[in-house]
């Protein structure tokens, strides 16, 4: 069975500590910081200056004084950092770290939805390309989607893109009907309601957490549905010794590290985002050596996408 242990190398590996030291020296030389999403492999999380969910990482990137941001996550997250702080150099260890959900939506689809829903406010989940954010009114993450949608006057129709399941979660939380797009996360899609039923049967005392990208039948069966960082808080605050984790497997590394006395059970052992796993210590080192690959965006996209992201940051 594949668990979080399979995703980390032992820290007794001398090659690993050599890499960590070389990264530290280059970080100092270039006045760089390393930001890592909660799903990154353990050794990448361990070398990061900040580990967080999309919102925390975006806020930190927006205000950092560092000259260089090495963003360990997926492409849209690094783009978000660049849009919010365009004078910084944003490096990604591997340009191939994309997000299939983000690739499901295009600027043309936004135009079509606006034509079909005149006067609607377009709320765009950050898991989207910069070109789509540039056509949106306001962005959101899983941590603030409910608050952002609630802030929109009741008489305004809302188009919510691209994640239909986060959209469904927001609909249930706000009681508002949204115009949804049919995007989804192929990784979270793998968790089935029967996985939660089985886990509850096997571990009746467990606390069950799930991400709002899960299918609604899964989300409805969880005790807490939240962003990845709020999951970490919920687990810390809940007395249960066993936790069933309904999200991407990388999350378990952070949870286990912060709660060594608790047992974490993946709701589904194939809930593994390959894109989140392409970053490594070697690639971080090479990025710092070469000052590449770098996120670059056309000026108009930077400018327009920033408006939608700034509105989100102001409300968070």
Residue 38 interacts with, from ligand SF4, ligand 13P, none (CB under 5-8 Å by kind): ligand 13P
Contacts of ligand SF4 in 35-64 (CB under 6 A): none
Question: Would you say 102 and 90 are in contact if contact means Cβ atoms under 8 Å apart?
Answer: no
CA distance 295 to 244: 36
Residue 161: helix, strand or coil by DSSP? strand
Residue 275 interacts with, from ligand 13P, ligand SF4, none (CB under 5-8 Å by kind): ligand SF4
160 Cβ neighbours under 8 A, 6+ residues apart: 123, 125, 149, 166, 167, 170, 178, 179, 180, 181
- The residue (of 152 and 191) whose beta carbon lies closer to ligand 13P is 191
C-alpha dist (Å) from residue 233 to 51, 177, 297: 13, 30, 35
Reduced DSSP (H G I as helix, E B as strand, rest coil) percent helix, strand, coil of the chain, to 5: 45, 15, 40
Is residue 127 at the binding interface for ligand 13P, with CB under 6 A as the rule?
Answer: yes
CA distance 134 to 167: 20
The least CB distance from residue 234 to ligand SF4, in Å, is 19
CA distance 313 to 307: 10
Is residue 163 at the binding interface for ligand 13P, with CB under 6 A as the rule?
Answer: no
Is residue 273 at the binding interface for ligand SF4, with CB under 6 A as the rule?
Answer: yes
The least CB distance from residue 187 to ligand 13P, in Å, is 7
The vertex-276 CA angle with 222 and 52, nearest 5°, equals 65
The least CB distance from residue 185 to ligand 13P, in Å, is 5
Among 72, 77, 76, residue whose Cα is nearest residue 92? 72
- The residue (of 120 and 255) whose beta carbon lies closer to ligand 13P is 255
| Number of shown-chain residues binding ligand SF4 (CB under 6 A) | 14
Is residue 85 at the binding interface for ligand 13P, with CB under 6 A as the rule?
Answer: no
The least CB distance from residue 19 to ligand SF4, in Å, is 25
Q: Where do we find the tokens 């377009």?
A: 122
- The residue (of 94 and 213) whose beta carbon lies closer to ligand 13P is 213
Contacts of ligand 13P in 238-267 (CB under 6 A): 248
- The residue (of 171 and 227) whose beta carbon lies closer to ligand 13P is 227
CB atoms within 10 A of CB 296: 10
Site mask for ligand 13P (CB under 6 A), range 185-224, x = bound: x-------------------------x-x-----------
CA distance 30 to 91: 12
**Which residue in the set 64, 85, 124, 141 belongs to the binding site for ligand 13P (CB under 6 A)?**
141
Q: Which stretch binds ligand SF4 (CB under 6 A): 2-10, 62-70, 154-162, 185-193?
A: 185-193
In sequence order, the β-bridge partners of residue 179 are 159
Give the residues lining the site for ligand 13P (CB under 6 A). Answer: 38, 53-54, 127, 141-142, 185, 211, 213, 227-228, 248
């Amino acid at each position: 069975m594949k668990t979080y242990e399979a995703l980390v190398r032992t820290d007794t590996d001398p090659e690993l500590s050599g890499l960590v030291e070389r990264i530290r020296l280059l970080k100092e030389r270039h006045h760089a910081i390393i930001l890592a999403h909660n799903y990154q492999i353990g050794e990448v999380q361990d070398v990061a200056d900040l580990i967080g969910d999309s919102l925390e990482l975006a806020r930190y990137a927006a205000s950092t004084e560092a000259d260089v941001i090495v963003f360990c996550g997926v492409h849209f997250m690094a783009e978000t950092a660049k849009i919010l702080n365009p004078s910084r150099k944003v490096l990604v260890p591997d340009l191939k770290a994309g997000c299939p959900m983000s690739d499901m939506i295009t600027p043309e689809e936004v135009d079509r939805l606006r034509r079909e829903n005149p006067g609607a406010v377009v709320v765009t989940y950050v898991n989207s390309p910069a070109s789509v954010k540039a056509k949106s009114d306001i962005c959101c993450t899983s941590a603030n989607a409910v608050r952002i949608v609630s802030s929109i006057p009741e008489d305004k129709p809302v188009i919510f893109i691209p994640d239909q399941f986060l959209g469904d979660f927001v609909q249930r939380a706000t009681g508002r009907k949204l115009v949804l797009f049919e995007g989804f996360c192929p990784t979270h899609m793998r968790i089935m309601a029967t996985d939660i039923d089985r886990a509850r049967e096997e571990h009746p005392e467990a606390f069950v957490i799930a991400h709002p990208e899960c299918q609604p039948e899964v989300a409805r069966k969880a005790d807490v549905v939240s962003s990845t960082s709020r999951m970490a808080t919920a687990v810390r605050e809940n007395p249960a010794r066993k936790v069933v984790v309904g999200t991407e497997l990388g999350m378990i590394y952070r949870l286990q590290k912060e709660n060594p006395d608790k047992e974490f059970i993946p709701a589904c052992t194939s809930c593994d985002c390959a894109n989140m796993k392409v970053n490594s210590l070697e690639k971080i080192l090479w990025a710092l050596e070469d000052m590449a690959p770098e996120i670059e965006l056309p000026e108009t996209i930077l400018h327009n996408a920033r408006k939608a992201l700034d509105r989100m940051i102001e409300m968070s």
